[in-house]
Structure formats: structure tokens, C-alpha cells
């Protein structure tokens, strides 16, 4: 096999597919990137058997063939090549020469025949969404998935399609994040749970261009994302997702309207007095026209007042500051509405049309403080 392409094209492709290379595996072939030039295009592929990524790069195929190269070594080499034309050539013993200007590397690859290609997916059931929207909806929900494999469903996000609406939900047992977005077309109802790892990696690859679309295909066990010249195939998480509608309530005793940035910056300042791993809550005291935020820790104490508009009862409630910060950071509105019932019940941050809903469980500060 012999290929000629620019360093920038090669690097971009290698960086994209590297996101599907596992950190630890007992199968050394999975630590490789497959360069497949057996057809008309130069394809780069990586696959950890849960997540697979394939991308096409521009370049000239002088001699057809394929080779599997160690992903880490290959990426490190390509990253440090001069910004010029790269010639990549392999022989029958899988010895691979990578030449760019006066730099020449020789590494030993593996047979491409041992590599696991992406599963063949029947592309029938699908939706179309802009790259910008998908990237945003992941950013606004991904922080509240669980990183604990004890409950696999919590490590993924629910994609709930109903007509021309896509609802994305994540939860970790302490909070729930919900984003609803309108789709350009109407589609049959469908619910799937997509691994958080897949969504994290896709959001890094997406350009975020509002004029470019992503086609998302569904089967019983897989989800496929197609955009630009890249295909991402992921296994779905099996099982029925939690019935979150039972956790959402429109009842409230107190409603606070507050400037988001001011609230976020105030909580951020309070966390200066919280050591990493410390579970000290912030205490919020709501009275007419004022929200007082207090924190007491082994380092010191802080309190600050923020002007608000309040409807309903006065209330004092405690929260994990990180959970509140995570939600506030991804809301774009200048003014936000916070709905509360009592010190033991979840609070809701949501807009009037419920395009976003963030539920956060309170902390019992009377025993912690």
C-alpha cells in the first residue's frame, strides 16, 4: 500500500478515529487504527467493540492495500511531522514507512484482515438534526450522567423522539437534566439510551456548524451518527429508562426570578471555601426581594445577598454547590426561574416553555452544618 496526503488531512482523520481506541484492552488489534485503501477512498477506522468511528480523508492512493497501526504511536508521529505532504508506504511484512520532508519513521503494523470493521447497520429509521443543535444539547445535559457502572442506564442519555420533538434526558440519582428541541420534520416515536461516552466523543468531533446536519440512524441495538465524512456507530444501552415524568411536578410554594450570571458567580465564589471532596452545602435563604447565600466550612464562612423577585413563601434550603453550578453554566437565559416546594423537595430550574428543566435534590444542612 502507498498513500500520499497532506499532514493536516491525515492528522484530522487520525484524531477523529482515535476517540474510539480503548485505553485498556486485552486485544492488541483494538489499540490500532486501520488504514483502509482497498477501495476508492482512504478510510481510517477505530473500533473498541462498543464504539466505532470511520472517517474518509482526502489523498491519493498510489497502491491499494490496508494496514493496522498502533493508534498512540501513529498519532504522536503524525502530530509532530512537518506541515507538508506525507507519504505512507507498507510492504508485505507490514513494515510501514511514514515520510514527510526529511523526516522518516518506520514502524511495524499488523494485518488489516484481523481488524474488526464497524457493524453493518440497516439505515432506515432515522432523524436529522443540525451539528450545532446536537453539540449544544449534549453540552447542556451530559454533566448529569453517572460515572458509576453499577446502574448502566444512568451512564447514558435518553433520546426520546415524539413527532417533531426530541427530548434528551440524563440523571445520576441526585439531579435530572432535560432538554427539548424542535426537529425540522416529524418522525415516528422512539426511545433509546445512548452511552454518555459516545455522546462525549461525538460532541468533540462535531464542528458545531448550524448549516451542517447530522443523520442519526437507529436499530434495535445500535445508533449511527453520520456527518461530514465521518460515521460513528455505537451500541445502545439496553433496558427501560427511568420514568422521569413521575419525578417532575408543576407544584411549587416559592418561585424565584434571579439574574443567572449573578447567581452563578455568587455560588462560584462560595466554593472557594470548600475543599475538594468536602460535601459542605450552600445554604440559600429566600425572603422578599432578597436571596441570601451562606456557606460555612473548616476554611471559613461567606455570605452574600442577591436581589430577586419572589412569589410565594419564604424558604431556607441547602444544595450541593457543584450541582447548581453545572446547571447554571449551560443555561443561556439572562433571567431564570427557580421553583421550590420545601427544604426536603427538589428544586426546578426551567423556562416557561420547559425547553430546559434542571431538577436538583436538596441537601439536609441541619445535620451537615
Kindly state whether residues 180 and 259 are assigned to the same domain.
Answer: no
114, 148, 164: which is the final residue of a domain?
A: 114
Kindly state whether residues 277 and 240 are assigned to the same domain.
Answer: no
* Residue 30, domain member (yes or no): yes
* Residue 52, domain member (yes or no): yes
pLDDT in tens, 25-35: 878 899 999 99
What is the average per-residue pLDDT within 106-118?
91
* Residue 119, domain member (yes or no): no
89, 114, 139: which is the final residue of a domain?
A: 114
Kindly state whether residues 20 and 110 are assigned to the same domain.
Answer: yes
Kindly state whether residues 364 and 252 are assigned to the same domain.
Answer: yes
Kindly state whether residues 235 and 283 are assigned to the same domain.
Answer: no
pLDDT of residue 119: 85
* Number of domains, the chain: 3
Between CA 18 and CA 53 the distance in angstroms is 8
Mean pLDDT for all residues in the chain? 94
Sign of CA dihedral 341, 342, 343, 345: negative
pLDDT of residue 366: 57
Kindly state whether residues 154 and 221 are assigned to the same domain.
Answer: yes
Kindly state whether residues 252 and 354 are assigned to the same domain.
Answer: yes
Between CA 27 and CA 315 the distance in angstroms is 57
* Residue 68, domain member (yes or no): yes
pLDDT in tens, 136-180: 999 999 999 999 888 999 999 999 999 999 999 999 999 999 999
114, 137, 161: which is the final residue of a domain?
A: 114
Kindly state whether residues 230 and 301 are assigned to the same domain.
Answer: no
The pLDDT of residue 367 is above 50 = no
Q: Which helix (H) or strand (E) holds 265?
A: helix 260-270
pLDDT in tens, 305-329: 999 999 999 999 999 999 999 999 9
Grid-cell match 475543599, residue found: 275
Residue range of the domain that includes 230: 127-244
pLDDT in tens, 23-80: 888 788 999 999 999 999 999 999 999 999 999 999 999 999 999 999 999 999 999 9
CATH code, domain carrying 316: 3.10.150.10
What is the average per-residue pLDDT within 92-119?
93
Grid-cell match 518506520, residue found: 106
Amino acid at each position: 500500500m502507498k498513500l500520499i496526503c497532506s499532514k493536516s488531512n491525515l492528522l484530522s482523520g487520525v484524531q477523529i478515529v482515535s476517540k474510539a481506541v480503548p485505553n485498556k484492552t486485552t486485544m492488541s488489534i483494538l489499540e490500532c487504527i486501520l488504514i483502509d485503501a482497498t477501495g476508492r477512498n482512504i478510510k481510517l477506522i477505530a473500533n473498541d467493540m462498543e464504539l466505532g468511528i470511520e472517517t474518509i480523508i482526502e489523498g491519493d492512493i498510489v497502491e491499494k492495500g490496508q494496514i493496522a497501526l498502533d493508534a498512540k504511536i501513529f498519532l504522536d508521529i503524525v502530530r509532530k511531522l512537518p506541515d507538508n505532504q506525507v507519504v505512507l508506504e507498507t510492504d508485505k511484512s507490514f513494515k510501514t514507512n511514514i515520510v514527510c520532508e526529511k523526516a522518516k519513521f518506520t514502524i511495524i503494523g499488523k494485518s488489516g484482515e484481523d481488524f474488526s470493521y464497524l457493524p453493518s447497520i440497516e439505515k432506515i429509521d432515522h432523524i436529522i438534526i443540525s451539528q450545532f443543535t446536537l453539540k449544544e444539547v449534549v453540552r447542556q445535559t451530559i454533566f448529569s450522567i453517572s460515572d458509576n457502572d453499577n446502574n448502566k442506564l444512568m451512564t447514558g442519555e435518553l433520546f426520546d423522539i415524539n413527532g417533531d420533538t426530541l427530548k434528551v434526558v440524563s440523571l445520576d440519582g441526585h439531579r435530572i437534566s432535560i432538554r427539548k428541541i424542535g426537529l425540522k420534520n416529524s418522525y415516528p416515536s422512539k426511545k433509546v439510551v445512548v452511552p454518555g461516552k459516545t455522546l462525549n466523543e461525538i460532541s468533540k468531533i462535531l464542528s458545531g456548524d448550524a448549516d451542517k446536519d447530522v443523520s442519526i440512524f437507529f436499530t434495535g441495538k445500535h445508533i449511527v451518527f453520520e456527518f461530514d465524512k465521518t460515521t460513528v456507530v455505537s451500541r445502545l444501552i439496553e433496558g427501560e429508562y427511568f420514568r422521569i415524568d413521575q419525578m417532575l411536578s408543576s407544584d411549587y410554594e416559592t418561585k424565584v426570578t434571579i439574574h443567572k450570571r449573578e447567581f452563578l458567580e455568587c455560588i462560584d465564589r462560595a466554593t472557594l471555601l470548600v475543599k475538594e471532596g468536602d460535601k459542605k452545602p450552600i445554604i440559600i435563604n429566600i425572603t422578599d426581594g432578597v436571596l441570601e447565600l451562606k456557606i460555612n466550612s473548616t476554611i471559613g464562612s461567606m455570605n452574600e445577598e442577591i436581589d430577586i423577585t419572589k412569589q410565594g413563601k419564604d424558604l431556607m434550603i441547602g444544595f450541593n454547590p457543584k450541582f447548581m453550578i453545572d446547571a447554571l453554566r449551560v443555561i443561556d437565559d439572562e433571567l431564570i426561574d427557580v421553583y421550590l416546594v420545601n427544604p426536603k423537595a427538589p428544586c426546578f430550574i426551567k423556562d416557561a416553555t420547559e425547553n430546559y428543566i434542571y431538577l436538583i435534590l436538596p441537601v439536609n444542612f441541619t445535620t451537615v452544618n
